[in-house]
A and B are shown apart, each in its own frame.
Chain A
Amino acid sequence: MRFPRLLFSICFISVFLACSVEPEPINFGNDHCIYCKMTISDPKYGAELVTDKGRVYKFDAVECMLPYLKENPETKFSYIMAVAYDEPNKLKNVEELHFVQNENFKSPMGKNLASFANQPKEFESLNWTQLKDNFY
Chain B
Amino acid sequence: MIRYFLSAFFFAILFSASLSAKPIIANSNNSIKESILQAIAYDTIIIKPGVYYENLISIEKPLTIIGEVGAIVDSQEGDEIFIVQSDGVIIQNLTLKNIGVSYIKDRAAIRLNRVRDVKILNNTLINTFFGIYLQKSNNCIVDGNKVIGGAQDESTAGNAIHIWQGKRIQVTNNEVSFHRDGIYFEFVDESYIANNLSKNNMRYGLHFMFSNYDQYENNRFQDNGSGVAVMFSKHIEMRDNQFLDNWGGASYGLLLKEISDGSIENNNFSRNTVGIYAEGANRLSIKSNLFHNNGKAMDIKGNSLDNQIIKNDFVGNTFEVLTNSKSNLNHFEGNYWSQYSGYDLNKDGIGDVPHRPVNLFAIVTDKIPAASMLLHSFLVNSLDAAERLFPQFIPEQLIDQKPKIKPNHYDQD
Contacts and interface: CB of A to CB of B under 8 A. Distances in A.
Given A44-B103, A110-B209, A110-B210, A28 B257 contact: no
Contacts, number: 49
Ranked nearest first, the 9 interchain pairs of A and B with the lowest CB-CB distance are A29-B154, A28-B155, A43-B155, A39-B203, A32-B250, A41-B203, A29-B202, A39-B225, A88-B103
Interface of B: 103, 106, 154-157, 164, 180, 186-187, 202-204, 209-210, 225-226, 229, 231-232, 249-250, 255, 257, 277, 279
A41 B180 contact: yes
B65 to A, nearest CB: 28
Nearest to B207: A38
Interface string A38-55: 110111100000000000
A44 B101 CA distance: 13
B193 to A, nearest CB: 20
A41 B279 CA distance: 21
Contacts of B157: 41
Given A38-B229, A41-B180, A106 B203 contact: no
Contacts of B187: 110
Centre residue among B103, B186, B202 by max chain A CB count within 10 A: B103
A32 to B, nearest CB: 5
Nearest to A44: B103
A70 interface: no
A28 B229 contact: no
Interface in A21-40: 28-30, 32, 36-39
29 contacts: A28-B154, A28-B155, A29-B155, A29-B202, A29-B203, A32-B249, A32-B250, A36-B231, A36-B257, A37-B250, A37-B255, A37-B257, A37-B277, A37-B279, A38-B203, A38-B229, A38-B231, A39-B202, A39-B203, A39-B225, A41-B155, A41-B202, A43-B156, A44-B103, A88-B103, A89-B155, A106-B106, A106-B164, A110-B209
Interface in A94-120: 106, 109-110
Contacts of A109: 209
B263 to A, nearest CB: 22
B103 A41 contact: no
Nearest to B157: A41
Given A38-B203, A38-B229, A41-B203, 14 more contacts: A28-B154, A29-B203, A30-B154, A36-B231, A37-B250, A37-B279, A38-B231, A39-B203, A39-B250, A41-B155, A41-B157, A42-B155, A43-B155, A43-B156
A109 B210 CA distance: 9
B227 to A, nearest CB: 12
Interface string A56-96: 00000000000000000000000000000000110000000
Contacts of A41: 154-155, 157, 180, 202-203
A28 B249 CA distance: 14
B62 to A, nearest CB: 28
B306 to A, nearest CB: 22
